[in-house]
């Protein structure tokens, strides 16, 4: 399935919304939108539209296999995709395993969400720009820009 490519997104896939809320608080001054999903399928849809995105995936014992399959498929198909894993403290022993799977960060406390926010910002700032048409490039380089006309 082909999708229109959009700039990288910060996508949070979790059950409750607490990690996304913590990220929004941490990034309140950065102007970065946090996209929230509840299922891996919905997360995949957003990522397919923005292949250079950064995902924050909530780990649970029940979803462990599904998350590993998701990571493997996305890393193979979209090499610019990066992710962090968040989990409850009782899953802290999964940290090194998830790092081996490619996680940029692994945290078990919302108080440490700042590290994930910084990693996501760095990744999204380095994502390649989308190709622009000649008209879009001209307007983007004019000192007054299109929005002021």
CATH of the domain at 60: 3.40.50.2300
Alpha-carbon span 36 to 32, nearest angstrom: 13
Q: How many domains does the chain have?
A: 1
In the structure, what pLDDT confidence band is assigned to residue 5 with cuts at 50, 70 and 90?
Answer: low
* Chain segment 10-61, per-residue pLDDT in tens: 999 999 999 999 999 999 988 889 999 999 999 999 998 888 999 999 999 9
Q: Which domain holds residue 15?
A: 10-148
Cα-flanking dihedrals φ and ψ of residue 54, to 5°?
A: -120, 125
Alpha-carbon span 75 to 83, nearest angstrom: 10
Residues forming a β-bridge with 13: 37, 57
Do 73 and 36 meet the contact criterion of CB atoms below 8 Å apart?
no
**Termini Cα distance of the chain:** 37
* Chain segment 106-139, per-residue pLDDT in tens: 999 999 999 999 999 999 988 766 666 778 677 7
CA-wise closest residue to 19 among 64, 55, 52: 55
- Is residue 3, in this structure, part of any structural domain at all? no
- Is residue 1, in this structure, part of any structural domain at all? no
Handedness of CA 79, 84, 90, 94 (dihedral sign): positive
- Is residue 4, in this structure, part of any structural domain at all? no
- Is residue 46, in this structure, part of any structural domain at all? yes
């Amino acid at each position: 399935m082909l999708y229109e490519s959009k700039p990288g997104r910060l996508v949070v896939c979790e059950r409750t919304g607490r990690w996304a809320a913590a990220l929004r608080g941490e990034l309140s001054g950065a102007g970065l939108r946090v996209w929230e999903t509840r299922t891996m399928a919905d997360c995949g849809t957003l990522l397919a539209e923005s292949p250079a995105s950064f995902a924050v995936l909530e780990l649970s014992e029940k979803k462990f296999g599904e998350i590993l399959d998701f990571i493997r498929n996305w890393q193979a198909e979209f090499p610019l995709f990066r992710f962090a894993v968040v989990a409850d403290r009782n899953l802290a022993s999964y940290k090194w395993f998830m790092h081996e799977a490619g996680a940029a960060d692994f945290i078990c406390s919302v108080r440490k969400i700042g590290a994930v926010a910084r990693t996501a910002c760095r990744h999204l700032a380095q994502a390649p720009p989308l190709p622009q048409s000649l008209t879009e490039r001209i307007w983007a380089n004019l000192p007054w820009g299109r929005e002021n006309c």
